[in-house]
């Protein structure tokens, strides 16, 4: 039996306002909650039991995923009363695992989309006889990540979380948010207080001489923490650039969910998804964007690399480029919202009130 812990309890502050009513892993990407893609990928890798470590908006997961049988996987929910951080959450979730002390346990951050070969990671963990094996990926600008240099054998040498000084940038290998833990290592994490696995557990294990093994992998990898990367991930799933068995349709330039209505004169592309009950008007152009259920894009609007929240309305001829429109907001005609503009849920913006600004 292969078991995994999925960390889904974070507040997702960088993705606000879409995470005000919905926890980040439940925000739809390519037509289904992002978590559905992770579960499908885990299942395809042979994982048969997943413990969901919930905290923020914990109550919304179970009504959707139930016991997991509809997704071909057994799901157990463990909820922290107070958020325990990444390490504390792993420790708390371990209560629900059957794994014995020496068995491997997979741990996934809930906001990572990757084409990683999970069975291969497990194999490398066994071969290295590691205490913890970490998936590492190379990024062009590692400053926003946890740096993890390794030696020629893959042994982890250090952890530098979000380096501030140029001298600290000793590698482009970063923590990719997927681990294999030996079960007994999880049991060593304190269970009575918040713990960060990145800032406390891993550096502590290194200092104690544990074997932490890094596996650098060049497959698709994206951290969905920010709106721009969330939109990108959704578009890549729709287009089949990264494959997920949970996408409700064949790969293509757009995905329109049942119950949506797109006027014949509208243009969709770049991996756009149009949610159930949403409407796209005549002459509207929607590229590389996520239009959530019940949203309306009026005639002649131009939408690019943006997220339009549930039930929101984008007025005629309004331009969105890299914008996030919160649920049930009303954007009037002839506005122009670019460069990371975010509109809070339920906001009403009159016609022609905004040009180019970030809100």
Q: Which spans of this chain sit near ligand GTP (rule: CB under 6 A)? A: 7-14, 24, 53-55, 80, 83-86, 89, 109-111, 225
* Choice between 109 and 335, CB closer to ligand GTP: 109
User: Are 316 and 298 a contacting pair, CB within 8 Å?
Assistant: yes
Closest approach of ligand GTP to the CB of residue 33, in Å = 13
* Residue 100 neighbours by CB under 8 Å, 6+ apart: 183
* Choice between 92 and 272, CB closer to ligand GTP: 92
Q: With CA atoms as reference, report the closest residue to 229 among 18, 5, 7, 61.
A: 18
Closest approach of ligand GTP to the CB of residue 203, in Å = 16
* Choice between 20 and 353, CB closer to ligand GTP: 20
* Choice between 61 and 254, CB closer to ligand GTP: 61
* Choice between 84 and 242, CB closer to ligand GTP: 84
* Choice between 10 and 104, CB closer to ligand GTP: 10
* CB neighbour burial string for 63-91, b if at least 16 within 10 angstroms, e if fewer: eebeebeebebebbbbbbeeebbbbbbbb
What six digits make up the tokens of 249? 């349709």
* Choice between 3 and 111, CB closer to ligand GTP: 111
Q: What is the DSSP letter of 305?
A: S
User: Are 19 and 11 a contacting pair, CB within 8 Å?
Assistant: yes
* Choice between 89 and 262, CB closer to ligand GTP: 89
Q: What angle is formed at CA 285 by the lines to CA 283 and CA 307, rounded to 5 degrees?
A: 135
Longest dimension (CA), the chain: 64
Where helices occur in the chain by DSSP H, the ranges are 34-44, 61-65, 85-93, 118-128, 183-187, 202-207, 227-239
Closest approach of ligand GTP to the CB of residue 151, in Å = 27
Closest approach of ligand GTP to the CB of residue 65, in Å = 15
Q: With CA atoms as reference, report the closest residue to 352 among 338, 336, 341.
A: 336
CA distance 283 to 14: 32
Closest approach of ligand GTP to the CB of residue 144, in Å = 11
Q: With CA atoms as reference, report the closest residue to 210 among 147, 134, 145.
A: 134
Closest approach of ligand GTP to the CB of residue 332, in Å = 30
Closest approach of ligand GTP to the CB of residue 48, in Å = 21
Q: What angle is formed at CA 16 by the lines to CA 14 and CA 22, rounded to 5 degrees?
A: 115
Closest approach of ligand GTP to the CB of residue 11, in Å = 4
What six digits make up the tokens of 141? 């600008």
Closest approach of ligand GTP to the CB of residue 279, in Å = 31
String of DSSP letters for 5-39: EEE-----GGGTTTTTTS-GGGSEETTEEHHHHHH
Neighbours of 218 (CB within 10 A): 9
* Choice between 28 and 110, CB closer to ligand GTP: 110
* Choice between 86 and 306, CB closer to ligand GTP: 86
Closest approach of ligand GTP to the CB of residue 269, in Å = 29
What six digits make up the tokens of 42? 């885990």
């Amino acid at each position: 039996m292969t078991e995994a812990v999925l960390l889904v309890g974070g507040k997702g502050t960088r993705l606000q306002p879409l995470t005000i009513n919905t926890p980040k892993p439940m925000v739809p990407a390519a037509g289904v909650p992002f978590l559905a893609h992770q579960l499908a990928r885990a299942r395809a890798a042979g994982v048969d039991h997943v413990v969901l470590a919930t905290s923020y908006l914990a109550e919304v997961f179970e009504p959707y995923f139930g016991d997991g049988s509809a997704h071909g996987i057994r799901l157990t929910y463990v909820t922290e009363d107070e958020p325990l951080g990444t390490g504390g959450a792993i420790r708390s979730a371990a209560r629900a695992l059957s794994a014995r002390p020496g068995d491997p346990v997979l741990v996934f951050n809930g906001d990572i989309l990757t084409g990683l070969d999970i069975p291969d990671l497990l194999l490398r963990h066994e071969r290295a006889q590691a205490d913890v094996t970490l998936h590492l990926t190379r990024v062009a600008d590692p400053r926003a990540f946890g740096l993890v240099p390794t030696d020629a054998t893959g042994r982890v040498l250090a952890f530098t979380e979000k380096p501030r000084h140029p001298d600290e940038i000793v590698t482009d290998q970063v923590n990719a948010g997927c681990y294999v833990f030996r079960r007994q290592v999880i049991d060593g994490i304190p269970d009575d207080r918040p713990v960060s696995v990145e800032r406390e557990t891993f550096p502590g294990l290194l200092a104690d001489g544990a074997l932490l093994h890094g596996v650098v992998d060049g497959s698709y990898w994206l951290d969905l923490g920010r709106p721009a990367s969330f939109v990108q991930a959704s578009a890549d799933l729709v287009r089949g650039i990264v494959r997920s068995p949970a996408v409700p349709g064949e790969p293509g330039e757009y995905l329109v969910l049942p119950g949506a209505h797109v006027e014949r004169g509208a243009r969709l592309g770049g991996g756009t998804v149009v949610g159930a009950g949403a409407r796209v008007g005549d002459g509207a152009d929607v590229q590389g964007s996520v239009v959530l259920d019940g949203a309306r894009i009026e005639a002649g609007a131009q939408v690019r690399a943006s997220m339009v929240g549930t039930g929101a309305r984008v007025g005629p001829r309004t331009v969105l480029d890299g914008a996030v429109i919160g649920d049930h907001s009303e954007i009037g005609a002839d506005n122009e919202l670019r460069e990371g503009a975010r509109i809070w849920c339920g906001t009403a913006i009159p016609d022609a009130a905004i040009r180019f600004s970030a809100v």
